[in-house]
Amino acid sequence: MSGTTITSGEYIKHHLTNLTYGQYADGGWGFAKSAADIKEMGFWAFHLDSLAWSVALATLFFFFFRLAAKRATAGVPGGLQNFVEWIVEFVDTSVKESFSGRNPLIAPLALTIFCWVFLMNLMDLVAVDWLPMIAGIFGEYALSMDPHLVFFKVVPTTDPNITFGMALAVFYLMIYYSIKNKGLGGFLSELAFQPFGKWGLPANLILEGISLISKPVSLALRLFGNMYAGETIFILIALMYGGGMVLGAFGGLLQLGWAIFHILIITLQAFIFMTLTIVYMEMAHHEH
């Protein structure tokens, strides 16, 4: 690999930049090598690292749960079956406590969201340099790129495109079931006549419209903000390893402590995303 040294600022920026593939202004396609390239590619560029890890972790979730289902037995369960049954019971209890309607989609949706978000968040506990270093080596020898220009973020939920994608999917389901259960007229009347009745129609539309739009926005930004901040702290702690043995040892202790605490954040953010999804589905199945 190249022996080029980078500053602390460049190190942080490198670890917080996605591996972006898109179309340049001249019509050619390629990998972005700088922030200017990313800006030139615009909105429709692909964050390949976020997409690859989110799909890979979804596949991992599907594989293990399918394996547990195929091996399920009425006798003494194995470790995998016990673990999967514990998660399913936990999610099922959460659904029963927050959702009073009848919809066979809600429990599988909640289970998928909780496990998928948890696995994506869990990538935050991987050492910040390991996978980007591997990606840099691959980029140097397979793509003939400077390894310092191979950006690689390994936590999909630190990418707002991923969190907003999930939030918009939940928002679509909320609108769909609101119209399905209440009718188009019932859904629009909630926006127009609540909470001040028909005489407060303009104020109702503003308040209910803001409330409606804020649901996917807050859902996406809450997850993104917490995970992005956590990843940034890991990167800042990693900088201490280059400050000598004493500072490096102190950084190791800080990293261990933050990782232990971060396990709670990882689980909590997955639980909150799941719970809010269930609550929004509950609202979509009942009158105001």
Catalytic residue numbers read 218, 222, 226
Instruction: Outline where the chain has alpha helix (H).
Output: 8-15, 35-41, 48-70, 79-98, 106-122, 130-142, 160-193, 201-238, 245-284
Strand order in the sheet with 46-47: 29-31, 20-23, 46-47
Q: What is the dihedral of CA 178, 277, 280, 213, to 10 degrees?
A: -90
Amino acid at 160: P
What span, in angstroms and rounded, lies between the C-alpha atoms of 21 and 262?
A: 31
Give 157's DSSP letter: G
What span, in angstroms and rounded, lies between the C-alpha atoms of 226 and 273?
A: 12
Q: Report whether 18 contacts 153 (CB < 8 A).
A: yes
| Gyration radius of the chain's alpha carbons | 23
Residue with tokens 């909630």: 190
Amino acid at 194: Q
List Cα–Cα distances, 51 to 7, 16, 256, 268, in angstroms: 28, 15, 28, 23
Give 46's DSSP letter: E
What are the backbone dihedrals phi and psi of residue 276, each rounded to the nearest 5 degrees, phi first? -65, -35
